[in-house]
């Protein structure tokens, strides 16, 4: 199985209903999605996701498939229950959610953050909402800036981003996630 650091921000489902919409617009680049074909990779993986915001902590498992024609994300609870699924073909987003996830929550945010971390920097930069937003991308870190101030910081655990763990920190909204992509030998254990 190929690894890549795409992930489901299932913990985001617990966070965003309490966030002020005006603050989100100011501290977040907004809702945009990139075409699956712009990913530059194909992968199918299982990932462990640890989400933290303040004293709130949530662990989940994410199943992710990326091809040139679609992205499929499935978020599982710690007990293995499917909480959400997203299917994006570049034109239409199909969402399914557990009843416990508020209908007003834009699950599109989860896929957007997957793309911030995993899609090529040039594709992400082209989708950002205007000149105030900029993406800096170095070997082991990617930083999304607004007016020169860091809003999102992504740290990759190694030079090979496709196989390394990552830490995703949204400084603007105050949450952090650690993502561990399971290798084939780890999946059945």
CA distance 34 to 26: 21
Per-residue pLDDT of the chain (189 residues; tens, 9 = 90+): 344 433 433 444 444 444 444 444 567 887 789 999 999 999 998 999 998 988 988 889 999 999 999 999 999 998 899 999 999 999 999 999 999 888 877 788 888 888 999 999 999 999 999 899 999 999 899 999 999 999 999 999 988 787 789 999 999 888 899 999 886 434 444
pLDDT on residue 26: 64
pLDDT on residue 103: 83
Q: What is the pTM of this model?
A: 0.81
Strand ranges (DSSP E) for the chain? 43-53, 56-66, 71-76, 82-88, 93-97, 133-137, 141-146, 149-156, 166-170, 175-181
CA distance 15 to 109: 12
- Residues 105-143 as b/e (b if ≥16 CB within 10 A, e otherwise) read bebebbbbbbbbbbbeeebbeebbeeeebebeeeeeebb
pLDDT on residue 183: 64
Task: Provide the H-helix boundaries in the chain.
Answer: 12-15, 21-27, 108-118, 121-127, 184-187
Q: Sketch the domain layout of the chain as residue ranges.
A: 12-187
Domain 12-187 in this protein, CATH class: mainly beta
């Amino acid at each position: 199985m190929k690894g890549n650091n795409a992930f489901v921000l299932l913990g985001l489902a617990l966070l965003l209903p309490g966030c002020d919409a005006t603050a989100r617009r100011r501290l977040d680049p907004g809702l945009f999605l990139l075409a699956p074909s712009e990913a530059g990779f194909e992968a199918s993986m299982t990932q462990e996701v640890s989400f933290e915001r303040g004293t709130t902590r949530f662990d989940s498992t994410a199943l992710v498939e990326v091809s040139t024609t679609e992205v499929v994300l499935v978020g599982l609870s710690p007990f293995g229950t499917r909480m959400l699924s997203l299917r994006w073909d570049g034109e239409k987003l199909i969402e399914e959610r557990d009843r416990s996830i508020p209908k007003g929550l834009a699950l599109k945010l989860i896929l957007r953050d997957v793309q911030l971390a995993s899609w090529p920097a040039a594709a992400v930069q082209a989708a950002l909402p205007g000149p105030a937003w900029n993406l800096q991308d170095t070997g082991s870190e990617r930083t999304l800036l607004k007016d020169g101030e860091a809003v999102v910081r992504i740290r990759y655990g190694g030079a090979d981003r496709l196989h390394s763990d990552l830490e995703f920190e949204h400084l603007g909204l105050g949450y952090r996630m650690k993502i561990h992509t399971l290798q084939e030998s780890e999946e059945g254990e």
